[in-house]
Amino acid sequence: MILRAIIFIIAFFTASISMANEHKAEAIFAGGCFWCMQKPFDHTPGVIKTIVGYTGGHKDNPTYEEVSSGTTGHVEAIKVIYDPEKVSYSELLNIFWKNIDPLDSGGQFCDRGSQYRSAIFYSNDSEKQAAEKSLRDLISRNNITGEIATEILPAGKFYPAEEYHQSYYKKNPLRYKFYRYSCGRDKRLKELGIK
């Protein structure tokens, strides 16, 4: 009797975990300073969690200082864990485009260097096609005539950033607001007026 109860409990928890994982997907975006990319996704219904970190480079387990030096090939990025039944990958792409300058080839806003370039990292053909379609839609919807600098790249290993960078906008709201303002991010986004 006890053995049956234990088996039932194990089966129940295994099924619950399996069902929870069935409704999760991940997306990775690079849009310059990862502090500024976290808030828009965190406030999106259907987003379960966001993690800021580094991806796209050649160094294992890079630190913030190493990535900031521009020598690792990594970019500051955000991993978005979401429920695809509540928010689609296409909707996340739209949020991404509204929070970057797709024409900036030298970084993003006041952050300069390859470690701040913008990119969409796809995990499969479906995501690649959705990213390419979103780019075409972005250009036509906004009458963009300049060259798009944002890359669409295959996803590689994602390394979470140090804990003090996670949810920086919540932990340090005044510093975050000052940084965002002094960087000119909101001013440039308003100028771009991406729909």
Catalytic residue (choose from 33, 36, 110, 183)? 33
Alpha-carbon span 189 to 18, nearest angstrom: 40
* Structure token pair of residue 113: 């260097």
Question: Is 36 an active-site residue?
Answer: no
Alpha-carbon span 22 to 151, nearest angstrom: 29
- Beta carbons within 8 Å of 73's beta carbon, 6+ residues apart: 56, 57, 58, 59, 114
Alpha-carbon span 175 to 169, nearest angstrom: 8
The residues that are catalytic are: 33
